[in-house]
Amino acid sequence: MRLYPRLANITKMLDFYSQFNPSPLSIKQFIDFGLNACEGKSFIFLRKELPVRLANIMKEITLLPDSLLRMPSVGMVSAWYAKSFEEVIAFEKVEPTTNNLEHFCKELIKIRDRHSDVVQTMAQGILELKESRGHIEPSTELSIQYFLDRLYMSRISIRMLINQHTILFGEIPRGDRHVGCIDPLCDPSMVVRDAYENARFLCDQYYLASPELQVIEHNELEKNEPIRIVYVPSHLYHMLFELFKNSMRAVMEYHSMENPEDVPPLKVTIVKGKEDICVKLSDRGGGIPRSQVDQLFKYMYSTAPQPPKSKSDLPTVPLAGYGYGLPISRLYARYFHGDIVLLSCEGYGSDAVIYLKALSDEANELLPIFNKTSSKFYKATVPTGDWSNQVRHLKKNIKKIVI
């Protein structure tokens, strides 16, 4: 098959850039550069780094099962990445003149906006596959889970780079203490209350009531001092908003037979230690069986009704959606080497703990790398259990995965 010259050149460039590993940055590096920001240096770094990150994940898209690649929504996502890659490499040999820097910044904003619906569109593509085939093979489910973690983590990292550049050099500069989208004195309790109030608004609309909030802070290093962290407030908000929605829904439904004005409160404990910042959300929503905890982080598992196909249709439960909330929230935590852990006491309630790095120079980006190891995973079959009773457990879990 003969390729057109332009398409052949793009394919050649994609092969070239995919050979390189992404260069992870720490929050401290983001801060240090932002405080002494030089648009030309940022331009030179991004015109190499963005194609590398795009090429790495684009190579993995091509390894997805053919049945999934044929879905219209997946094709749309693939086309978005190809278009963005082409637009970025157009600056490969461009001089950092004033006009070129301004054009580059506008292109980055266009790319960011183009990819704003990647999560929903890819989710729709998987629903299309499910509907077209009636079921998804277990090996395909494992490949999809592996791929989506890497796709969405790559997307988070690319948006982070673009946001830092466009906020520092393109959009209206912030007059506050923020360095790009990073707050060097982020108040986690304020982010907690903001996320709570917005989740509470949805809860009140649907259930006509909502749990109250109790917040406790413990600063182990600086006694009686308020806790401040160097972090991206929007990332923390995303995690907390999702956890609050889940907890509120659980509490209101578990206590539905009681007086809705007298439901147990949500308790948030914020702790700063030497290595970790911990934000723990505790609810009395009845908890879930231990066997289901791991399922909550799978993209093809949701306890809520499926979202409507038409945006004009109202969802049945406004506190739920595709079931992607928790997996993506965990990616936001892991992006800077934190984590989200769920602990459940079935019949009582659940604890969700957000772990963040206390030191900004240890909060490094966690990025997917395309190589032989990642390529082999897409060809892997369903694992065979090597412990007693494990084979039955694997099959049981696979059956639980519902789109």
Rounded Cα gap, residues 313 and 100, in angstroms: 43
Q: Cα 140 from chain centroid?
A: 21
Kindly give the interhelix angle for 72-89 and 39-61, rounded to the nearest 10 degrees.
150
Q: Is 180 helix (H, G, I), strand (E, B) or coil?
A: coil
Residues 6+ apart with CB under 8 A from 108: 46, 162, 165, 166, 170
For tokens 């009636």, name the residue. Answer: 134
Length in residues, the chain: 403
287: left (phi over 0), alpha (psi -120 to 50) or beta: left
Cα distances from 114 to residues 56, 103, 105, 111, in angstroms, run 19, 16, 14, 5
Closest C-alpha among 182, 128, 120 to residue 151: 120
Provide DSSP, 220-245: SSSTTPPP-EEE-HHHHHHHHHHHHH
Rounded Cα gap, residues 387 and 400, in angstroms: 21
CA dihedral 233, 27, 154, 380 (to 10 degrees): -120
> What b/e string do you get for 295-329 counting C-beta neighbours within 10 Å, with b at 16 or more?
bbbbbbbbebebbeeeeeeeeeeebbbbbbbbbbb
Closest C-alpha among 336, 327, 234, 328 to residue 276: 336
List the beta bridge partners of residue 276. 357
For tokens 């879905």, name the residue. Answer: 71
DSSP assigned state of 149: H
Q: Which residues form the catalytic set?
A: 238, 242, 245-246
